[in-house]
Structure 1
Amino acid sequence: MTLTQLDYIVAVDTYRHFATAAEACHVTQPTLSMQIQKLEDELGILVFDRSKQPVVPTETGQTVLAQARDVLRAARRIPEIVSESKEDFRGDFRIGIIPTLAPYLLPYFIGEFVGKYPAVSVHIQELVTEHVVEKLRNGLIDVGLVVTPLEENGITEIPLFQEPFVAYAADSNPLLDKTAVSSSDLLSDGLWLLTEGHCFRTQVMNLCGADRHSNGKTTLRYETGSLETLIKLIDRQDGFTLLPFLATLDMDATRQARLRPFDAPAPVREVSIVTHRSFLKRQLINALKQEIMAHLPPEIIGVTKGGRVASVR
């Protein structure tokens, strides 16, 4: 049994296709298939059921694959220990970040992070939370920036800061008659939401009670895939939505006038770094945390350090 063979079976499990796995491993498909066959012969079991498409692990294969991933993580940790002892930051660093954070948080720190560690090749993907967790488990990314708690087995959460929610309403909406809003003010018709799959959608629905009805009409009016689309729709139509605070900082004066804070305790979401429990690149992850915290807007730092807030899940 070799680490290369373990790499190959993990690749097939990840891509569920022998040709794609071979391409990802930079070998020919016959080479990959032969090495997997040798491993199966040595173990006396079938790791994969090749009769199904896409290919799937056998029941015993699933257990073998879980152990293979742990072995590979442990093996990759050894050179990282050496690099950390030399304070030598280099190599690939793969980050997954949810879409409701990416355009608003990344600009604050990513330039400084890349400039400080020029030997590190940073790869960033926008992913919904479910896919961040999946890619962490499969070793396809090193770290995620998401909203927590996730309560996922095998996933480590490193809280960073708390981000308040604010209401954003059209000029004609009654919410703008208030200096601050409460959750009961959000039960009226006209709520605009992100599409399913976005954790921010779930948090907004939990806060607004979007499964409830007002005047016989559902509070759900429309769904879209980006916060910027929500904002533009409200600018030109009617209704309201909730936004994370970071999404409001670059707004012009006209849009700022359409924002309303919440009464205390203000609802917030917890933003965290998440890793696999046996995560690698520990010094890089710690450096990432330090860089994010060093460049947060002062308004966010104030909320994180104290104040009357209520976490929304």
Structure 2
Amino acid sequence: MTLTQLTYILAVDTYRSFRKAAEQCYVTQPTLSMQIQKLEKELGIIIFDRSTYPIEPTDLGSRVIEQIRKIIDETERLKEIIHKSKRMIFGRLRIGIIPTIAPYLLPLFVDKLINQYQGLELSIDELQTSKILQLLEQNLLDVGIVSGPINHPRIIEKVLYNEPFVGFISHDHPLIKKEKIKVEDLTLEDLWLLKEGHCFRDQILQLCKSVLTRNPLHSVRLRFEGENLETLRKLVENNVGITLLPYLATLSLKGTSSERLIREFYPPVPTRRVSLIYGKSKLKLQLIKVLQKAIVAAIPAELHKYNSKKSSNSNKKPTGGELAHFERSTKP
């Protein structure tokens, strides 16, 4: 029995396909199949029912796989203990990050992080929150970067920063005449949204839902739903509608003509909470802490200032309206 064989078994259980598992393990399918068969023969059991599609573990196989996951977890923990004792930052950190954070946050810290820690390998996937949670539970990711809060019994959440939204308004839209805007100014008539599954979309719809409740004369007309914020930004730049952008998405617009399309909100400002999430087993915690420190150090001074101000304000008892707005703005 080898750790390689156990890793192959977990891959097949995850992808329910020998071909896909082999691709993910960077080996040929015959090699992977042969190693799994060899272990099955050694144990005197059948782990996978090969007559089904997709492949399913047998009843006994499921119990064996559960134990294999524990073995692999403890192996990783052993490596972490050794690296920590030697004060080494070494190993592979598998990161999942949502699409509305990735293009704006990653460039701020990734290059510096890998140059600072030569023994650190980063594997980064851009995924929606639901997929990140799934892969964390399957131990196929070590950590996620998402918009919280995340209420999950087996997941730990560490807040990185709070990020305000801004309005991004086309030249011919009536709101462009205002220096600042209010949440109450928003309607769904001409507001560009992301497709379902994006937490950013859910946050914006939640904000506009309260507006519609107070002012039912607004009609809802979703003319387009995009896959990424950059598409929505381009639509607005071409004089069509409005959208909301997170603060970091506006950094690349400074000094350009598009900067004039940005409108900040009057308080209380719509905000999202950006967090690190990882499993309660705390595997690779040392590497996760290094990642956390690198991100916090990399965010711009303006965002640090906003978070410091928000933190001081949070010590005051909020009014009912402020609390309701905060709950809307942090809905996952």
TM-score by length of 2: 0.84
2:291 to 280, 288, 299: 288
Cα distance in structure 2, aligned partners of 1:270 and 1:133 = 17
Count of residue pairs brought into register by the alignment: 310
Shift of 1:48: 3.3
Per-residue deviation, 1:111: 1.5
Using the TM superposition, name which of 157-166 and 195-204 deviates more. Answer: 195-204
Distance in 2, Cα, partners of 1:199 & 1:156: 18
TM-align CA RMSD? 2.5
The structural deviation recorded for 1:216 is 6.7
Q: Secondary structure at the match of 1:107?
A: helix
1:312 corresponds to: 330
Change (3 A) 1:18 1:210: farther
Where 1:220 maps in the other structure, the secondary structure is coil
Using the TM superposition, give the Cα deviation of residue 181 of structure 1 relative to its aligned residue in structure 2, in angstroms: 2.1
Give secondary structure in 1 for the equivalent of 2:111.
Answer: helix
Unmatched runs of 5 consecutive residues or more in structure 1:
none
Give 1:85 deviation, angstroms: 1.1
Q: CA deviation at 1:37?
A: 2.4
Provide the residue aligned with 1:139 in structure 2: 139
The code of the aligned residue for 1:305 comes to: S
Structure 1 residues 221 and 92, CA, compared in 2 at 3 Å: closer, same or farther?
A: same
Equivalence for 1:240: 242
- Residue 302 of structure 2 corresponds to 299
> Does structure 2 conserve the Cα–Cα contact (< 8 Å) formed by 1:210 and 1:220?
no
Counterparts of 1:59-98 in structure 2, within 5 Å, are 61-98=61-98
Residue 259 of structure 1 corresponds to which residue in structure 2?
Answer: 262
| Residue 180 (1) aligns with residue 219 (2) | no
Report the counterpart of residue 317 of structure 2 in structure 1.
none
The 1:86–1:247 alpha-carbon spacing in structure 2 relative to 1, beyond 3 Å, is: same
Partner of 2:153: 153
Q: Does 1:122 align with 2:122?
A: yes
Q: Larger % of strand: which?
A: 1
SS in 2 for 1:241: strand
Counterpart secondary structure, 2:265: coil
Which string of whole-angstrom CA distances, capped at 9 and with x for unpartnered residues, describes residues 94-120 of structure 1? 222111111111111112111110122
Shift of 1:234: 1.2
In structure 2, relative to structure 1, the CA distance for the partners of 1:16 and 1:128 (3 Å cut) is same
State how far apart, in whole Å, the 1-side matches of 2:218 and 2:266 are.
27
Contact in 1 for aligned 2:189/2:218 (Cα 8 Å): no
C-alpha distance in structure 2 between counterparts of 1:61 and 1:48, whole Å: 6
Could you say if the C-alpha distance between residues 116 and 87 of structure 1 is closer, same or farther in structure 2, counting changes exceeding 3 Å? same
| Larger helix percent | 2
- Give the C-alpha shift of residue 141 in structure 1: 2.3
The 3 A distance-change label for structure 1 pair 201 and 40 is farther
The normalised TM-score by structure 1 is: 0.89
Looking at structure 1, the residues matched to 132 and 175 of structure 2 have their Cα atoms a distance apart, in angstroms, of 35
* 1:76 aligned partner, one-letter code: E
Q: Distance in 2 between matches of 1:133 and 1:39?
A: 34
Cα 1:51–1:13 shift into 2, 3 Å: same
Q: Gaps spanning 5+ residues in structure 2: where? A: 314-321
Verify the 8 A CA contact 1:11 1:25 in the aligned structure 2.
Answer: no
Is residue 269 of structure 1 aligned with residue 272 of structure 2?
Answer: yes
User: What is the one-letter code of the residue matched to 1:265?
Assistant: P
- Judge conservation of contact 2:166–2:264 (CA < 8 Å) in 1: yes
* AA aligned opposite 2:138: N
Change (3 A) 1:14 1:244: same
Aligned equivalents of 1:229 and 1:288: distance in 2? Answer: 29
Separation in 2, partners of 1:74, 1:122: 21
Partners of 1:261 and 1:59 in 2: CA distance: 57
Distance 2:102 2:281 in 1: 25
The residue aligned with 1:197 is 197
